[in-house]
Structure 1
Amino acid sequence: MSNPFTQGNYAPVRQEHTCTDLPVIGEIPDHLDGRYLRNGPNPISEIDPDTYNWFMGDGMVHGIRLRDGKAEWYRNRWVRSPVTTRALGEPPRPRNPRAGLDVLGANTNIIGHAGRTLALVEGGATNYELTDELDTVGPCDFDGTLPGGYTAHPKRDPETGELHAVSYFFGRGNTVQYSVIGADGRARRTVDVTVSGSPMMHDFSLTENHVVFYDLPVSFDARQAVEGAVPAWLRRPAQLVVSALIGRVRVPDPITARMASFTPANRSFPYRWNPRYPARIGVMPRSGGARDVRWFDVEPCYVFHPLNAYETETGLVLEIVRHAKVFDADLSGPSEGAPTLDRWTVDFKSGRVREERLDDRQQEFPRVDERLVGKRHRYGYAVGDDTLFKHDMTTGKTETRSFGEGNQVGEFVFEPRTPDAAEDDGVLMGLRYSAAEERSDLLLLDAETLETVAEVQLPDRVPNGFHGNWVPADS
Structure 2
Amino acid sequence: MTSKPYLAGHYTPVADEITATGLTVEGTLPPELTGRLIRNSHNPKPGVTPSHWFKGSGMVHGIRLREGRAEWYRNRWVHTPALDGAPYLTEHGPDLTASTAGTHVIEHAGRLLALCEANLPFELTPDLETVGAHDFGGKLRGAMTAHPKVDPVSGELHFFGSSPFPPYLTYYVADAKGEIVHSAEVPGASASLKHDFAVTRRHVVFVEGSVTFDPAEHSGIPYGWSDQQPSRIGVMPRGADGAGQIRWFSVEPGNMLHAANAYEDGRGRIVLEGPTVDREGFQLSWNWWVGAPGRGTEPNTRSYTRRWVVDLAAGTVDEQIIDDLAVEFPTLNEDYLGAEHRYQYAVSFPDQEGFGGYGVVKYDRVTGARRVHQVGDARLPSEAVFVPAAGATNEDDGYLLTVVSDLKQDASQLLVLDAGGLDRVATVHLPRRVTAGIHGSWIPDGDLDGGLG
Q: TM-score, normalised by structure 2?
A: 0.88
Which position in structure 1 is the counterpart of 2:209? 216
| Residue 103 of structure 1, CA deviation | 2.9
Which of residues 153, 168, 175 in structure 2 aligns to 1:159? 153
Aligned residue number for residue 181 of structure 1 = 174
Q: Match of 2:270, as an amino acid?
A: L
Q: For 1:74-113, list aligned pairs within 5 A.
A: 74-85=73-84, 101-113=96-108
The question of 1:434 aligning with 2:433 is answered no
- 8 Å contact kept, 2:200–2:338: yes
Alpha carbons 1:202, 1:304 under 8 Å: kept: yes
Separation (CA, whole Å) in 2 of partners of 1:121 and 1:444: 27
Q: Please list, as runs of the form range in 1=range in 2, the aligned pairs for 1:354-393 lying within 5 A after superposition.
A: 354-385=318-349, 386-393=358-365
How far off its partner does 1:221 sit? Answer: 2.0
Cα distance in 1 for partners of 2:206, 2:114 equals 23
SS at match of 2:114: strand
- Distance apart, 1:129 and its partner CA: 0.2
1:297 pairs with 2:250: yes
Checking the alignment, whether the CA contact within 8 Å between 1:301 and 1:322 is kept in structure 2 is yes
Provide the residue aligned with 2:376 in structure 1: 404
What SS does the aligned partner of 2:228 have? Answer: coil
Correspondence list, 1:447-462, <5 A: 447-462=419-434
**Does structure 1 residue 140 correspond to structure 2 residue 134?**
yes
Root-mean-square deviation over aligned CA pairs: 2.1
Q: 2:275 aligns with which of 306, 310, 321?
A: 321
C-alpha distance after superposition, 1:383-404 (max 9, x if no partner): 1142111000011111111111
- Residue type matched to 2:105 in 1? I
Contact 1:99 1:147 in 2 (8 A): no
The equivalent position to 2:305 in structure 1, one of 300, 324, 341, is 341
TM-aligned CA distance change 1:86 to 1:273, over 3 Å: closer
CA distance in 2, matches of 1:336, 1:135: 32
The verdict on how the C-alpha distance between 1:98 and 1:268 changes in structure 2, with shifts beyond 3 A counting, is closer
The range that moved more, 107-116 or 286-295, is: 286-295
C-alpha distance after superposition, 1:262-315 (max 9, x if no partner): xxxxx5221111221111001000013332011111000000111111102141
2-side partners of 1:132 and 1:223: how far apart?
A: 41
CA distance in 2, matches of 1:472, 1:206: 23
> Which range moved further: 179-188 or 143-152?
143-152
For each residue in 1:120-147, what CA deviation from the matched residue of structure 2 results, as whole angstroms up to 9, or x when unmatched? 1102x13100000000000011222212
**Equivalent residue pairs, number:** 421
CA distance in 2, matches of 1:100, 1:413: 32
Residue-by-residue CA offset, 1:11-60 (whole Å, 9 max, x unaligned): 21111111111111111101111100101111115354xx7211111000
Residues 272 and 46 of structure 1, relative CA distance in 2, 3 Å threshold: farther
| Matches of 1:206 and 1:431, distance apart in 2 | 27
| Local SS of the residue matching 1:374 | coil
Letter in 2 for 1:413: V
| Whole-Å separation in 1 of the counterparts to 2:390 and 2:404 | 25
Is contact 1:410-1:465 (8 Å) kept? yes
CA–CA distance in structure 2, aligned partners of residues 41 and 380 of structure 1: 26
How many angstroms apart in 1 are the aligned matches of 2:369 and 2:73? Answer: 36
How do residues 45-56 of structure 1 correspond to structure 2 at under 5 angstroms? 45-48=46-49, 52-56=51-55
Report the CA distance between 1:422 and its aligned residue. 1.6
**Corresponding position of 2:387:** 415
Q: Provide the residue aligned with 1:241 in structure 2.
A: none
- Deviation digits for residues 406-457 of structure 1 (CA, Å, limit 9, x no counterpart): 1111100111113653211111101111111111111111111211111111
1:268 aligns to 2:220 (yes or no): yes
The one-letter code sitting in structure 1 at the alignment partner of 2:303 is: P
Which of 366, 381, 384 aligns to 1:394? It is 366
Q: Paired residue for 2:62?
A: 63
* Residue aligned with 1:222, SS: coil
Q: How far is the alpha carbon of 1:84 from its aligned partner?
A: 2.1
Q: Which structure 2 residue ranges, 5 or more long, are not aligned?
A: 87-91, 290-297, 350-357, 448-453
Q: CA deviation at 1:351?
A: 1.4
- The corresponding residue for 1:31 is 32
Alignment match, 1:16: 17
CA distance change for structure 1 residues 187 and 331 in 2, over 3 Å: closer, same or farther? farther
- Give the structure with the larger helix fraction: 1
Amino acid at match of 2:31: D
Deviation, 1:197, is: 2.7
Relative to the length of structure 1, the TM-score reads: 0.84
Distance 1:42 1:61, change over 3 A: same
Alignment pair present for 1:279 and 2:231: yes
Secondary structure of the residue aligned to 2:107 is strand
* Equivalent residue number for residue 89 of structure 2: none
Q: CA deviation at 1:353?
A: 1.1
The whole-number CA distance in structure 1 between the counterparts of 2:259 and 2:82 is: 32
Indicate the residue corresponding to 1:311 in structure 2: 264
1:119 is aligned to 2:114? yes
2: CA distance between counterparts of 1:337 and 1:407? Answer: 17
Q: Which stretches of structure 1, 4 residues or longer, exceed 6 Å deviation after superposition?
A: none
Distance 2:94 2:442 in 1: 25
Larger mean Cα displacement after TM superposition, 445-454 or 267-276: 267-276
Report the secondary structure of 1:72's partner residue: strand
Q: Answer yes or no: is the 8 Å Cα contact 2:99–2:116 preserved in 1.
A: no
Gaps of 5+ in 1: 88-96, 228-266
- Mapped to 1, the partners of 2:188 and 2:82 lie a distance apart of 32
Give the C-alpha shift of residue 110 in structure 1.
Answer: 0.5
- Post-superposition offset of 1:459: 0.9
